[in-house]
Structure 1
Amino acid sequence: MSSGVEADIALDAAVVLSLGMNRVLGRAGGLAGRGAEALAALAEGRAEARAAALAEVETQERALREVVERNARIAALAEARDRIGASVELPAPLALDERPAEELTAWCAATDRVLDEAERALSDHLAAEVTAQIFASAEGLTTDLERAEPVPEADTGDVRRTLARVMARLLPDAGPAERDAVAEAARLLASATTAAEAEGVLQEVRLRIQDANRRTRDLREAERRRAAEADAAAQAEAERRYVLDSITAAFEDLGYEVAGGFETLTASDGTMVLTKGAWPDHSVRMRVDDAQVRASMTRERPAESEDDRRVDAEREAEWCAAFEAARTRLADAGIRSEVGWRLDPGVRELPVTAESRHTRGRAERRERHRSRDQ
């Protein structure tokens, strides 16, 4: 890269936490109050105040995420309840807002108890429903056990209670295939003619319930992973957008025009072109990746004289000073940068930018400005 600079960038913890909190709350841009306080304390060298502000925003962000998890569990249990037709009361999801972290945590603890009880009630309902269906079959267990001499009539009720107790272990959000597999095994009780046969069937039901629950927990974990991956992607995008917006604001404050690079209309892809009204022949191409910013000054046409090369060196020096000023502004916004490579002004000839739609458009704008000035 000629006449350029490369710098590694990293976001301050206050920015990362604030962006996460904003996403949970459905906000766009800006820093949460305590996050802004943490950055201010960092700039002023107040370590103790910064630590306190960071701890508070971290606690708040964690509490909000716990509420999100409970809301998701409420939704999952409501879906299971509707699927099996149970009448079980569930708490309403909690609206996400800026109430104190202690209040959010207390709600989560109380909700956990209610949801645990609701899950048990749903499992009991499912067990009773399947058990009743099996014992109500035309040639059901009751008739068969009454005909079978080795099985006393009193054992019919015991088998039924045992089946209901075993079935209650089936998770209420088990999928249709898992529930069908368990019910298929349970129906074999209808043909059991001895207590030993009935116990063998019950053991098979237990094994199928274990397998169904394992599959259900695997599905839950897969869903949690998908949610975590989506959350991480959303967080990365929020951080990238924050960096791009902060860089744009910093250079615009320094008098630069910041536009999307090449054929893009915005800097959403991380590529930007910086220009100034007093730079008819120069621009800076900048690329912002996940953890690095790279910038290079370019010419719109080849240098043709010593005067052109002198102007190049002046523009490069101006740009280097602006970059350092921008680094200070970015540090105030919680974006740390460490220059890993730099090419001093005048060391190499500036590369010439191939004409692009962006270049033509900027030339046309300059021509319109000249026409208005005449």
Structure 2
Amino acid sequence: MSSGIDADIALDAAVVLSLGMNRVLGRGAGLAASAAEALAARAAGRAEARAAALAEVETHERALREVVERSARIAALAETRAKIGADVALPEPLDPAGLSPAELTAWCAATDPVLDEAERRLSEHLAAQVSTQIFAVPTEGLAADLGQGPPPPRREDGDVRGNLERIMARLLPDAAEEERRAVAEAARLLAGVATADEAEGVLQEVRLRIQDANGRTRERREEERRRAAEREAAEQAEAERRYVLDSITAAFEDMGYEVQAGFETLTAEDGTLTLTRGGWPDHSVRMRVEDAAHVRASMVRERPAESEDDRRLDVEREREWCEAFEAARERLADAGIRSDVGWRLDPGVRELPVSTRNRQTRGRVGQRERSRERHK
């Protein structure tokens, strides 16, 4: 292994779970205490202690996600409440920071029936709104509008209205405005019916439109959940990639390397790192991390080799890099990052390629400050 290396990398389960927890809690990239304990137990080879710590992390992470789901539901119901002007109480979203898994789970259990009741009351409010709009039309005015005489005897408006409200209460409160309008249009036909059979026919149409509206609403909910899951996966992948980049940077900086990021695109987001040392005026290592799952590294020259002495120096630098990489792998393992080398090139096997970047125009990124807390 020297100028070329290709390795697969994988994050420990404790790190993966902890990164998810930290994103929910807004704590940046620091490892949660239980995850750090799991990593320490792993390093010490204490299988039982590791299993216990990892189980605690999994429980906490699962409880946090349950809280996030309830908070999202509270926000959705609050939006519906505002749209229809309902006076329905909703619980406040919970800040999960500092709470134990048991406390988080207890809050979820207490919140679920409150949210179910709020959704029911919102549906009833919407049903009452539609009924009021329909049955507030005076019979005489309706008859005049229709150009007809007084309607024949029919079931009492109260019976029809009660049936309508019971049926309308099945409409999900977060149905889209267009879907609510379609249901209301069918319900308004009740104002013109003259017989019980006609009323039942209209109510049946209302039922069918509610079924259709609820089906569309559930499809929309599922699509929103799918998009949320995709965002979650993308955010998790980025957190894992950033953790790997930061850990690699910290490991090599601790060994005396300067680490510069993103020279190919002049950003720190492309996963490219350049490693240099004070005693390496003519050499550097280009490293690229791909999706927190793969790392490639290559030693390069900053100018072409001009003599046999230069080539002997190349081999010496390659050996130094080989030793440094193995030392870094141990440090990364302690941080929960396993690396499996799939391909390597021994020192001196090939002539080092020459870097194409311009050292005068590339700009430098200063050594980053690294908090050791994330590995504690």
What is the identity, as a one-letter code, of the residue corresponding to 1:306? E
Deviation (angstroms), 1:82: 1.3
Q: Compute the TM-score of the two structures, normalised by the length of structure 1.
A: 0.92
- Matches of residues 179-258 of structure 1 in structure 2 within 5 Å? 179-258=180-259
Q: Give 2:373's aligned residue.
A: none
Cα distance in 1, alignment partners of residues 184 and 226 from structure 2: 30
Q: Give 1:38's aligned residue.
A: 38
Contact 1:285 1:295 in 2 (8 A): yes
Q: Give 1:372's aligned residue.
A: none
Counterpart among 334, 348, 351 of residue 350 in structure 2: 348
Q: Give 1:103's aligned residue.
A: 103
What is the identity, as a one-letter code, of the residue corresponding to 2:250? A
Cα distance in 1, alignment partners of residues 281 and 136 from structure 2: 89
Q: How many residues align?
A: 360
What is the identity, as a one-letter code, of the residue corresponding to 1:171? L
Contact 1:299 1:351 in 2 (8 A): yes
Structure 1 residues 203 and 249: alpha-carbon distance in aligned structure 2, compared to 1, 3 A threshold: same
Contact 2:2 2:344 in 1 (8 A): no
Deviation (angstroms), 1:361: 5.7
Cα distance in 2, alignment partners of residues 335 and 277 from structure 1: 27
Cα distance in 2, alignment partners of residues 238 and 140 from structure 1: 67
Deviation (angstroms), 1:97: 1.0
Contact 2:275 2:285 in 1 (8 A): yes
Cα distance in 2, alignment partners of residues 306 and 141 from structure 1: 106
Contact 2:263 2:362 in 1 (8 A): no
* Larger RCO (CA within 8 A; separation ≥ 6): 2
Per-residue Cα deviation, 1:74-107 (whole angstroms, up to 9, x for no partner): 1111111111111111111111212111111111
Contact 2:2 2:318 in 1 (8 A): no
3-state SS in 2 of match to 1:283: strand
Structure 1 residues 8 and 359: alpha-carbon distance in aligned structure 2, compared to 1, 3 A threshold: farther
- Matches of residues 154-193 of structure 1 in structure 2 within 5 Å? 154=156, 156-193=157-194
Question: Mean alpha-carbon deviation: is it higher for 268-277 or for 329-338?
Answer: 268-277
CA RMSD of aligned residues (A): 2.1
Deviation (angstroms), 1:306: 1.2
3-state SS in 2 of match to 1:99: coil
Cα distance in 2, alignment partners of residues 8 and 77 from structure 1: 45
Deviation (angstroms), 1:64: 0.9
Q: Compute the TM-score of the two structures, normalised by the length of structure 2.
A: 0.91
3-state SS in 2 of match to 1:174: coil
Per-residue Cα deviation, 1:328-368 (whole angstroms, up to 9, x for no partner): 00000000000000000000100111242467768xxxxxx
What is the identity, as a one-letter code, of the residue corresponding to 1:206? R
Q: Give 1:368's aligned residue.
A: none
Cα distance in 1, alignment partners of residues 16 and 327 from structure 2: 23
Q: Give 2:3's aligned residue.
A: 3
What is the identity, as a one-letter code, of the residue corresponding to 1:24? V
Bigger proportion of residues as helix: 1
What is the identity, as a one-letter code, of the residue corresponding to 2:36? A
Q: Give 1:282's aligned residue.
A: 283
Aligned sequence identity (%): 75
Deviation (angstroms), 1:152: 3.7
Cα distance in 1, alignment partners of residues 262 and 189 from structure 2: 70
Deviation (angstroms), 1:195: 1.4
3-state SS in 1 of match to 2:331: helix
3-state SS in 2 of match to 1:111: helix
Deviation (angstroms), 1:226: 1.5
3-state SS in 2 of match to 1:6: strand
Q: Give 2:333's aligned residue.
A: 331
Question: Mean alpha-carbon deviation: is it higher for 32-41 or for 353-362?
Answer: 353-362
Structure 1 residues 358 and 159: alpha-carbon distance in aligned structure 2, compared to 1, 3 A threshold: farther
What is the identity, as a one-letter code, of the residue corresponding to 1:137? V
Structure 1 residues 240 and 259: alpha-carbon distance in aligned structure 2, compared to 1, 3 A threshold: same
Contact 2:123 2:171 in 1 (8 A): yes
3-state SS in 2 of match to 1:66: helix
Structure 1 residues 186 and 346: alpha-carbon distance in aligned structure 2, compared to 1, 3 A threshold: same
Tell whether 2:312 aligns with 1:310.
yes
| Deviation >2 Å, runs of 4+ | 138-144, 146-149, 151-154, 261-268, 357-362
Q: Give 1:15's aligned residue.
A: 15
Contact 2:18 2:32 in 1 (8 A): yes
Structure 1 residues 333 and 141: alpha-carbon distance in aligned structure 2, compared to 1, 3 A threshold: farther
3-state SS in 2 of match to 1:233: helix
3-state SS in 2 of match to 1:163: helix
Which consecutive residues of structure 2, in runs of 5 or more, have no partner in the other structure? 365-376
Deviation (angstroms), 1:139: 4.2
Contact 2:6 2:295 in 1 (8 A): yes
Question: Mean alpha-carbon deviation: is it higher for 334-343 or for 1-10?
Answer: 1-10
